[in-house]
Amino acid sequence: MRIVTSVRGMQRLARRWRRGGPRVALVPTMGYLHAGHLSLVKLARRKAGRNGRVVVSIYVNPAQFGPGEDFARYPRDLARDKKHCRAAGVDVLFVPPDREMYPDSQNEAFSTFVVEHRLSRGLEGASRPAHFKGVTTVVAKLFNIILPDLAVFGAKDFQQAAVIQQMVRDLNIPVKITVAPIVREADGLALSSRNAYLSPAERRQAVVLRQAIQLAQKKVAASRRFLPASRLRGELIRFIQRQPAARVDYVEFFDPKNLEPVRQVARGVQMALAVFLGKTRLIDNARL
């Protein structure tokens, strides 16, 4: 496995691959890799084909964290990530330092951002106003640096995947986006690097996100007609907040195609939620 830290080095390699023709699959991450990331790598390997190349990028992107969020304490363990990537058969690990990705940010000379204006408004975008501007900008930069044919994102970040698909369509970026299913712990908690923040008591209670989704799915399956979103939301918030460490940020029901909120919930509606367990904010989602 080759480790590349400079943008120029990565671009040189990417251009060479372009001439030679192997399919290049990218898995963009912020590191602290877990089985969820490794499932993306596996899918990337399959999609790239036998002669293809799989690139994993690790970059904790400051631009997608708001003031007071967890950028400084976001978990990092490059030595462990390298081992995981080697074992998973990754061809190139791209790990740029900040000075490579945002060379002039100190003097504010970095001034071009990619902003998606429709799908990124609600849900995570409402709670974390500058988040998606940071995500789309860094993903567009990674696409320009690595020139992948395809990129794999996780379905846990449902809105992120939708925003990136929109960006790729709008800007005619020749990258095929694949969205891989959520990987869960045995008790149903979605894998996330942020699970590492949880105390043992918070970890036990964190399963409530999955349980809330299952409760909603059960109610929708049992009802013959539409369920008013406001009533279902209220029931789920009460259910979640029975856990002493839990505080709901949002529970939303929306159309999975355009992310527009719905007033009536029925089969096929997407549900997403964000819940604080102590200071740790976790997200999850599912089709009802």
At 126, which amino acid appears?
Answer: A
Report how far residue 265's alpha carbon sits from residue 232's, in angstroms, rounded to the nearest whole number.
8
Q: Which stretch binds ligand PAF (CB under 6 A): 26-34, 182-190, 206-214, 271-279?
A: 26-34
Q: Which is nearer to ligand PAF, 64 or 270 (CB)?
A: 64
Output the smallest distance, CB 193 to ligand PAF, in A. Answer: 8
Q: Which is nearer to ligand PAF, 52 or 134 (CB)?
A: 134
Output the smallest distance, CB 139 to ligand PAF, in A. Answer: 6
Q: Which stretch binds ligand PAF (CB under 6 A): 25-33, 107-115, 120-128, 251-259?
A: 25-33
The residue behind tokens 């209670």 is 205
CA angle 175, 132, 275 (to 5 degrees): 120
Residues 194-233: x/- map of binding to ligand PAF (CB under 6 A)?
Answer: ----------------------------------------
Residues 29-68: x/- map of binding to ligand PAF (CB under 6 A)?
Answer: xx------------------------------x--x----
**Per-residue tokens: 104:** 């002039």
Number of residues that bind ligand PAF (CB under 6 A): 10
Catalytic residues: 37
**Per-residue tokens: 211:** 């349980």
Under the criterion CB under 6 A, does residue 157 sit at the interface with ligand PAF? yes
Report how far residue 72's alpha carbon sits from residue 220's, in angstroms, rounded to the nearest whole number.
41
CA distance readout (Å), 184 to 123, 180, 188, 248, 268: 22, 12, 5, 20, 21
Which residues in 123-152 contact ligand PAF (CB under 6 A)?
A: 135, 138-139
Report how far residue 135's alpha carbon sits from residue 210's, in angstroms, rounded to the nearest whole number.
25
Indicate which single residue of 28, 36, 52, 125 sits in contact with ligand PAF (rule: CB under 6 A).
Answer: 28
CB 114 within 8 A of CB 75: no
CA 194 distance to own-chain centroid: 12
Interface with ligand PAF by CB under 6 A: which residues? 28-30, 61, 64, 135, 138-139, 157, 160
